[in-house]
A = this chain, B = another copy of it.
């Protein structure tokens, strides 16, 4: 019943390449994958690239035992001392409720200090401790290595334009 992809007619028929094994990405078992419209669409390729970059970053940063998401969090606190959790979640593109356990963990581990704001007892002020600064310094070194890889892939020339487009998508969609 099943058309037996390993001998799918397209190989001998419409798809005349005959090249059935490239083995790197997106295809397997001898038949190249047909991505159809996905191949040209921004959304799909964004997701695949993001996933790949995320995985690569994870591999890099696990040397120092910190997950990629934490890195942006620590950087944003470092650069915006006294930032509130809501501001942080917005800047980070995540829901504020996702931040609760992250901040709790960072506080528990002594990387972040959390005090109530004087003029509004609801909001927290987040700051790095000196331990936090030290960890961030190490993470930043790792991240720079990772970024250098990406830069090499993209090329210095294209990078600015590329990032400009990414920012535009993040800011202006819909």
Q: Which residues of A contact B (CB under 8 A)?
A: 1-6, 8, 24-29, 31, 33-38, 40-57, 59, 68, 72, 75-76, 78-84, 86-87, 90-91, 93, 115-119, 125, 127, 140, 143-144, 146-147, 149-151, 153-154, 158-159, 161-163, 165-174
Query: Chain copies in the assembly?
Result: 2
Q: Is the CB of A28 within 8 A of B86?
A: yes
Q: Is the CB of A33 within 8 A of B68?
A: no
Give, as a whole number of angstroms, the nearest-CB distance from A82 to chain B: 4
CA distance A28 to B3 in the complex (A): 57
Give, as a whole number of angstroms, the nearest-CB distance from A149 to chain B: 7
Tell which of B33, B40, B91, B118 touches A87, judged by Cβ atoms closer than 8 Å: B33
Tell which of B34, B79, B169 touches A79, judged by Cβ atoms closer than 8 Å: B34
Known A-B contacts A35-B76, A41-B147, A42-B162; A3 and B81 likewise in contact (beta carbons under 8 Å): yes
CA distance A19 to B8 in the complex (A): 62
Tell which of B6, B150, B167 touches A49, judged by Cβ atoms closer than 8 Å: B167
Q: Is the CB of A153 within 8 A of B173?
A: yes
Query: Across the two chains, which residue of chain B brings its CB closest to A174?
Result: B56
Closest 5 CB pairs of A and B: A2-B125, A45-B166, A36-B79, A48-B170, A50-B50
Tell which of B27, B68, B172 touches A43, judged by Cβ atoms closer than 8 Å: B68
Q: Is the CB of A5 within 8 A of B143?
A: no
CA distance A106 to B127 in the complex (A): 47
Q: Assuming A28-B87, A45-B167, A51-B93, what are 9 further A-B pairs, CB within 8 angstroms?
A: A2-B116, A3-B81, A5-B80, A5-B87, A8-B81, A33-B87, A42-B163, A52-B171, A53-B169
